[in-house]
Homo-oligomer: A and B are copies of this chain.
Amino acid sequence: MVDIKKTRSSCGLSQSLDIFGDKWSLLIMRDLVYFGKETYGDLLKMDEGIATNVLADKLVVLEKEGLITKEIFVGSKSKFKYKLTQKGIDIYPIIMEIIFWGATYCEVYPEQKAIVKMSKENRDAFVQDIMKNKLKELKEKN
């Protein structure tokens, strides 16, 4: 059985939304990029309370789409480590842009508002800094 990927159109927006256009994927990516989470258990503890089966499903999709990789923890056979690929790291500017919007129009916690204010003043430097760090981690391939 060939698994044909049905794209709704050849617009980059719709194709992207076919991958991460849901209520959970970007939150998972946020926790991986921003909060440095690495395991299923860590992700499960996210503030928003994701269901176990939804997390498991999304991780499979994100891996299949090449945004993350799954590898065995060194020294432990029962633990897996989810890591971002370059493709996954590149999602970060999108997340940041949404957080910027949210800081203006939603009632977010003051801490986030402050971070946003600070980072907006030098948007590119901020975004690129975090991405560079993630990329370095990725290349260190530990």
Contact = CB atoms under 8 A, between A and B. Distances in A.
Interface of A: 7-18, 21-23, 26-27, 30, 47-49, 87, 90-91, 93-95, 97-109, 112, 116
Given A97-B93, A97-B94, A97-B97, A26 B48 contact: no
28 contacts: A7-B107, A8-B47, A9-B48, A10-B108, A10-B109, A10-B112, A11-B48, A11-B102, A11-B108, A11-B112, A12-B100, A12-B101, A12-B102, A12-B103, A12-B106, A12-B112, A13-B26, A13-B27, A13-B102, A14-B27, A14-B47, A15-B108, A16-B98, A16-B105, A16-B106, A21-B21, A21-B26, A90-B104
A33 to B, nearest CB: 11
A15 B107 contact: yes
Nearest to A50: B8
Contacts of A102: 11-13, 15-16
A98 B94 contact: yes
A102 to B, nearest CB: 2
A109 B7 CA distance: 12
